[in-house]
A and B are shown apart, each in its own frame.
Chain A
Amino acid sequence: MTRRTLLRWAAALAATWPLSSLKVLAYTRRQAVELTPGHTATLQAIAEVVLPTSLTKDEQHAVVTQFVTWVANYREGAEMGHGYGATRVRHTGPSPAATYPEQLAALEAAARAHGAVSLGALSVTARRAVVEAALTTPRPVTQLPARPSGANVIADFMGMFFNGPEGYNLAYRAAINREDCRGLDGSEQVPAPWPPRVGDR
């Protein structure tokens, strides 16, 4: 995300709030790629809006931890898979997370503009409005990335969960566990039901 894009995005976020919040956002600077406990708290606040309600708080927290761990373990310049028949060797680029601190700060600023001390302190309804604005302006995000790209931290976070094995298990209500080594026995059977849980829909 370029600085100009970020400012347009932040401006759109704050469109319904006092102009002073825009000034706060305008002074947000790019930080080193390091997600702090504060960022984790913002992600937790996002999780409560974008993840299924059937996930418990602990499960939501685990999804956030997985995302933060992914960021921490990202390696720039690593060889990428070139596979059978591919002609080009590519390398991973800069961490997608380089843009996250600014984006997360913008979300917190938007919450403050709404009169809350933090995104997590907003009601779920108000938080959802902030999240929707961040996914809609300056340009609508249309897809969940297969892997985090840095373009939008909320879409990246959602993509990691929903495109991951837990997301598929939940959607299909079945323990597909596609990234596990599951053995051959019983593979011709319908996968076991995904463990029922309180609130599962």
Chain B
Amino acid sequence: MAVHECDVCIIGGGITAAMVAEKLAALRPSLSIIVVEAGKSLFDDDNRFEYRQRSLEYGENQWPGDFVADQAADGIISRTMAVGGSALHWGGVCNRFSEEDTRLKSLYGVGVDWPITWTDLEAHYCEAERRIGVSGEPGPLKEDARSEPYPMPPMPMTFNLVQLKAWAEKSGTPFWTTPQAKNTVNGYGGRSICLRCNTCEVCPTGARYSPDWTFKELLAARKIQLHDRTLVRRLELDERSTRVAVARAVRQDDSARQDEYRARTFVVASGYTWSPHLLLLSANSRFPTGLANRSDHVGRYMTGHLAYQTTIDADMKIYPGMNEQHSLISRRFFRCATDVPYVRHDLRIWESGGGRAPRLRAADGSLLLGDALLDDWRSRTARGTARVRGYFDVHPDRDSRLTLNPASTNRWGDPLPVVRHKIDAASEARQARTRTHFEQLFATLAKANDGRMGSVSGLAYQDHPAGGCRMGRNPTTSVVDSHGRTHDHENLFVVGAPTMPTGGCTNGTLTFVALALRSATAIAG
């Protein structure tokens, strides 16, 4: 058995682990930090162009080997398990939540309040934006006031977005560009400026932030140790206290080897699925339902947000493929008056080639070859298509759960997680009204411009999932405090997505990072 001793053991190697490690190393340079990640390190930057090309031509994985075959959950969850985590693949969208998200109960009587003030969270948003490198423009709404400017100027609009903005704003709703963790300045964070490669899932230039960059820098400076391909299976307590003493792990490439991590502080940074999963797996005679689970809240209140979307055909010229990941956003609907039915959502617009792909057969079924195909195609390119989507706020039921499935185990016999989202009764009761709201909103956008709206469809799963170890002041109704410290174990922290009581109504990653950075301050002591 290999025994590793350190001051801080971070379990997980995704974006929140990277941020906590980086901040701890800066605040307390003398700390010994070990990051333990179940998946591989994919540090082969030189191959990114080739991976991108294989992905474009053959649909191959842009991040080969970024998963562990027998470490899969039942439910909607990304398979990525590698150093960098899901943020290897992410699109880099860095929307903030709004103050309303932290005061839902007080303002609207729905969901719960977060145990953190907006002022406090906003300061950590600024720090998150600096650390990962966000380019953006301030929005026009006073409620979205910022205490610091964005670190980099906004990603320029493409010609398509210029057309879409002019088109969309005829409806009376203001739109601006979406902030993104992509360099618009060469050299920010030691990375390239964006070259508009149109494949953000694998950015071949490094312009889009991914956590492998942070880990490589920390390793090069010898500020951390990184143990990849190492799966932590259990946390064990000190015999005479409730402090966590040991993390027991196995090597993915050597199933006979057992590793033991001893640390003063343990940080579970394994995302919304694998964090509560580890706590539940770590049940013992003193905590028979899992560590940090005296409240019976570990694996409960799994959250996220739902969406409605449509396409709108309008009289504008769009050239599909100029920068398909770039988009417009309006935050106007992040706020909801208290005297109208509750609905909160973001509103995004992208260029789309929908309905304008080349076709082999004309409407009458006749074949189109060569020039006839091209003529038919060109006749359909005079107008353009907008893709429109709004994530909307729903709140989790107590039985929105992650549980262990004894019928499905990994090679070591550990039961794997099952995630079943369930929205609370109030969210369920709002569903029909919410759909009507979106149908009317999309129709208003279309009508303002003589556009034709397609069908409205809803998202079948909760996106940007979070929760499972929610934070709160009351130890009987939450798992961790506002800094991610578990109520039951003074040296055990959970950071990022799992700690969120509710999932907001826009992309979550920047919030996961901001909360993790706030935790890092407390961990540093």
Quick one: closest A residue to B182, CB to CB? A184
Instruction: Tell me how far the C-beta of A49 lies from the nearest C-beta in chain B, rounded to whole angstroms.
Output: 6
Q: Which of the candidate stretches B223-231, B365-373, B492-500 sits at the interface with the other chain?
A: B365-373
> What are the residues of chain A within 8 A of B369 when measuring CB–CB?
49-50, 128, 131-132, 158
> Is A82 located at the chain interface by the 8 A CB criterion?
yes
> What are the residues of chain A within 8 A of B324 when measuring CB–CB?
178
Distance of A191 Cα from B381 Cα, bound (Å): 14
Residues in B305-326 with C-beta less than 8 Å from chain A: 317, 319-324
> Is B27 located at the chain interface by the 8 A CB criterion?
no
Q: Which of the candidate stretches A24-32, A33-41, A115-123, A166-174 sits at the interface with the other chain?
A: A166-174
Most central of B73, B156, B370 by chain A CB within 10 Å:
B370
Which one of B54, B77, B80, B358 lies within 8 Å of A171 (CB-CB)? B358
Q: What 1/0 flags go to B156-179 for Cβ under 8 Å of A?
A: 111101100000000000000000
Known: A80-B59, A171-B377, A182-B196. A141 touches B360 (CB 8 A): yes
Q: Which of the candidate stretches A4-12, A85-93, A101-109 sits at the interface with the other chain?
A: A85-93
> Is A16 located at the chain interface by the 8 A CB criterion?
no
> Is A43 located at the chain interface by the 8 A CB criterion?
no
Instruction: Tell me how far the C-beta of A42 lies from the nearest C-beta in chain B, rounded to whole angstroms.
Output: 16
Q: Contact between A52 and B359 (Cβ–Cβ < 8 Å)?
A: no
Quick one: closest B residue to A84, CB to CB? B89
Quick one: closest A residue to B157, CB to CB? A188
The DSSP consensus for interface residues of chain A is loop
Q: Contact between B198 and A187 (Cβ–Cβ < 8 Å)?
A: no
Instruction: Tell me how far the C-beta of B47 lies from the nearest C-beta in chain A, rounded to whole angstroms.
Output: 14
> What are the residues of chain A within 8 A of B461 when measuring CB–CB?
85
Distance of A128 Cα from B55 Cα, bound (Å): 33
> What are the residues of chain B within 8 A of A131 when measuring CB–CB?
369
Known: A79-B65, A162-B373, A165-B321. A87 touches B75 (CB 8 A): yes
> What are the residues of chain A within 8 A of B156 when measuring CB–CB?
184, 187-188
> What are the residues of chain B within 8 A of A78 when measuring CB–CB?
54, 58, 60-61
> Is A196 located at the chain interface by the 8 A CB criterion?
no
Distance of A168 Cα from B162 Cα, bound (Å): 20
Q: Contact between A75 and B159 (Cβ–Cβ < 8 Å)?
A: no
> What are the residues of chain A within 8 A of B525 when measuring CB–CB?
none
Count of chain A residues near B, Cβ 8 A: 60
Distance of A73 Cα from B162 Cα, bound (Å): 39
> Is B111 located at the chain interface by the 8 A CB criterion?
no
Distance of A171 Cα from B320 Cα, bound (Å): 11
Q: Contact between B375 and A201 (Cβ–Cβ < 8 Å)?
A: yes
Q: Contact between A89 and B322 (Cβ–Cβ < 8 Å)?
A: no
Distance of A84 Cα from B320 Cα, bound (Å): 22
Residues in B91-144 with C-beta less than 8 Å from chain A: 91
> What are the residues of chain B within 8 A of A135 when measuring CB–CB?
360, 367
Which one of B56, B360, B374, B381 lies within 8 Å of A142 (CB-CB)? B360
Q: Contact between A85 and B59 (Cβ–Cβ < 8 Å)?
A: no
> Is A58 located at the chain interface by the 8 A CB criterion?
no
Known: A162-B373, A170-B374, A190-B159. A79 touches B64 (CB 8 A): yes
> What are the residues of chain B within 8 A of A163 when measuring CB–CB?
357-358
> Is A53 located at the chain interface by the 8 A CB criterion?
yes
> Is B197 located at the chain interface by the 8 A CB criterion?
yes
Q: What 1/0 flags go to A65-86 for Cβ under 8 Å of B?
A: 0000010011100111111111
Distance of A41 Cα from B366 Cα, bound (Å): 27
> What are the residues of chain B within 8 A of A183 when measuring CB–CB?
195-196
Distance of A147 Cα from B317 Cα, bound (Å): 27
Q: What 1/0 flags go to A113-144 for Cβ under 8 Å of B?
A: 00000000000000010011001100011111
Q: Contact between A81 and B358 (Cβ–Cβ < 8 Å)?
A: no
Q: Contact between B64 and A187 (Cβ–Cβ < 8 Å)?
A: no
Which one of A81, A181, A182 lies within 8 Å of B61 (CB-CB)? A81
Could you pull out 27 A-B pairs where Cβ atoms are within 8 angstroms?
A52-B370, A70-B57, A73-B57, A78-B61, A81-B55, A82-B80, A84-B86, A84-B91, A86-B78, A86-B79, A87-B72, A89-B79, A92-B58, A144-B360, A163-B357, A170-B374, A171-B374, A176-B319, A176-B322, A178-B320, A179-B198, A183-B196, A184-B184, A187-B156, A188-B156, A191-B159, A201-B371
**B residues apposed to A, CB below 8 Å:** 54-62, 64-65, 67, 69, 72-73, 75-80, 86, 89-91, 155-159, 161-162, 184, 193-199, 201, 204-205, 317, 319-324, 357-361, 365, 367, 369-371, 373-375, 377-378, 381, 461, 463
The 5 lowest CB-CB distance pairs between A and B, nearest first, are A178-B321, A181-B195, A79-B61, A162-B358, A181-B197
**A residues apposed to B, CB below 8 Å:** 49-54, 70, 73-75, 78-89, 92, 128, 131-132, 135-136, 140-144, 147, 155, 158, 162-163, 165, 167-168, 170-174, 176, 178-184, 187-191, 201
Interface contacts beyond A80-B59, A158-B369, A184-B194: sample of 9 additional A-B pairs, CB < 8 Å, sorted by A: A49-B370, A81-B60, A85-B461, A87-B78, A135-B367, A141-B360, A184-B155, A184-B196, A188-B159
